[in-house]
């Protein structure tokens, strides 16, 4: 989560909403890390999770990320939660809860929907205060 936080902080420095994500391989090795890049890339899908999942798939040479863990500073949205399910990650770990758009237990629970053929394990609240603080500070600065 510390690496994901570093990615989030860097994204914030670039003017992006400060969310960071890391994909870990089955042995705990870092396969990919990314921060949001929607503004710079003019890409609505350039969420940290999507970018990290894409890079991890390239690193492994396949789209199935079985055995992997997606670590993200903010609870994934529906798009990112769906991507985690489709990528077949074994677990999703996140820090701050997103009550407005979260899809890993808050507003929706895409990752544990029994109608889907894959349901990753979910661990939430890892360094939650630090993850939330990065976002709170970013938006407070934008309002000033």
Predicted pLDDT at 117: 92
pLDDT at 143: 79
Model confidence at 59, pLDDT cuts 50, 70, 90, reads very high
CATH code reported for the domain at 1-139: 3.40.140.10
- Using the CB atoms, write b or e for 75-106: b if 16+ within 10 Å: bbbebbbbbbbebebbbbbbbbbbeeebbbbe
68 among the known binding-site residues? no
Which residues, in sequence order, are CB contacts of 78 under 8 Å at separation 6+? 101, 103, 108, 110
Residue 23: half-sphere exposure toward Cβ, Cα within 13 Å: 30
Mean pLDDT of the 30-57 span: 98
Positions marked catalytic: 49
**pLDDT (mean) for 42-68:** 98
Residue 80 marked in a binding site:
yes
- 142 has a pLDDT exceeding 90: no
pLDDT tier, 112 (very low <50, low <70, confident <90, very high otherwise): very high
Q: Residue 144 — very low, low, confident or very high, per pLDDT cuts 50/70/90?
A: confident
Q: What confidence score (pLDDT) does residue 141 get?
A: 83
- Confidence (pTM): 0.96
For residue 64, pLDDT beyond 90: yes
């Amino acid at each position: 989560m510390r690496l994901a936080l570093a990615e989030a902080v860097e994204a914030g420095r670039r003017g992006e909403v400060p969310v960071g994500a890391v994909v870990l391989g089955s042995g705990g090795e870092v396969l990919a890390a990314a921060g949001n890049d929607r503004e710079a890339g003019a890409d609505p899908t350039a969420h940290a999770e999507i970018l990290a999942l894409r890079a991890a798939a390239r690193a492994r040479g396949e789209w199935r990320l079985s055995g992997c863990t997606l670590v993200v500073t903010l609870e994934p949205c529906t798009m990112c939660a769906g991507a985690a399910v489709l990528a077949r990650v074994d677990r999703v770990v996140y820090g701050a809860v997103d009550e407005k758009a979260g899809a890993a237990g808050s507003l929706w629970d895409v990752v544990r929907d029994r109608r889907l053929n894959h349901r990753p394990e979910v661990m939430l609240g890892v360094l939650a205060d630090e993850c939330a603080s990065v976002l709170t500070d970013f938006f407070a600065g934008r309002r000033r």
